[in-house]
Amino acid sequence: MAGNINPEEAIGAIVTIFTNELGAALDVVDAAYADTITLEDIKDYYEQFSIEYDAYPAVVLVCDESVKPDPVRKYDIWHHAIKIYVLMVSRIEGNESLKPQEELTRRLARTMEAMVAVLEGTNGKHLTVSSVNKADYVFVNEVSRPVLDLEEEPEDFLANFSVMDIEVRIS
C-alpha cells in the first residue's frame, strides 16, 4: 500500500519547510509593504494545544483527518488534512499610525501571506516526510483571519489567531 499512515511525519515535513524557508518569505512580505510593521519569525511549533506557549508568534499544527488509500487501487495515496493555527500577541503600545489591534491583525495577515507563499512554493518539490515517503502535493485549502472578540479589555497585551487548512498527499 502506498503512502504513509503517520500524520506526524506530514506535520514534521511542514515544520521543516517553514523552519527553512519562512524567514525569507517574511522578509519579502515586509519589503513589499515597506511600512512601520515588522514581521517576526515564528518562535516555536507545537503539535497540540496548550494553555501557555513559551514564546509568540507560535504555530500549532493539528491533523484533523487522515484518509487511507483504497486497497483495490494500487497507486492510491494517503491524504492528511492539517490545520495550522498561528497565534500572536502584542503589547498595547502599537505604533504611531495604527491602533494596537489593527497592527496585530495586519502582522497576522502578512504572516499568513508569507506562509501561503512558502506552501504554494512546495508544489513541484518533494517534502521529505520519512526516509522512503515523499509528500507529492501540499494544497492550501482555506485561510481565515478571525479577530478575537475579547470580553474584557486587556491591561497590557492583545491576542489574535488565524487558521489555515491544508492537505498533504503522501505517496
pLDDT of residue 127: 56
For the ranges 44-48, 59-63, 155-159, the lowest mean pLDDT is seen at 155-159
Determine the Cα–Cα distance for residues 2 and 162; give it in Å rounded to an integer.
33
* 88 SS3 class: strand
Cell of 161: 489567531
CA nearest to 47, candidates 22, 64, 26:
64
Q: Where are the chain's structural domains?
A: 7-130+159-170
Per DSSP, the residues of 153-167 read --SSEEEEEEEEEEE
Mean pLDDT, rounded, for 62-77? 73
Q: Tens digit of pLDDT for each residue in 92-140?
A: 665 566 677 778 888 888 999 999 888 887 654 555 555 555 555 666 7
Backbone angles phi, psi at 134, to 5 degrees: -120, 145
Indicate whether 26 pLDDT > 90.
yes
Within 13 Å and on the Cβ side, how many CA atoms surround 88? 28
- Do residues 87 and 53 touch, judged by C-beta distance below 8 A? yes
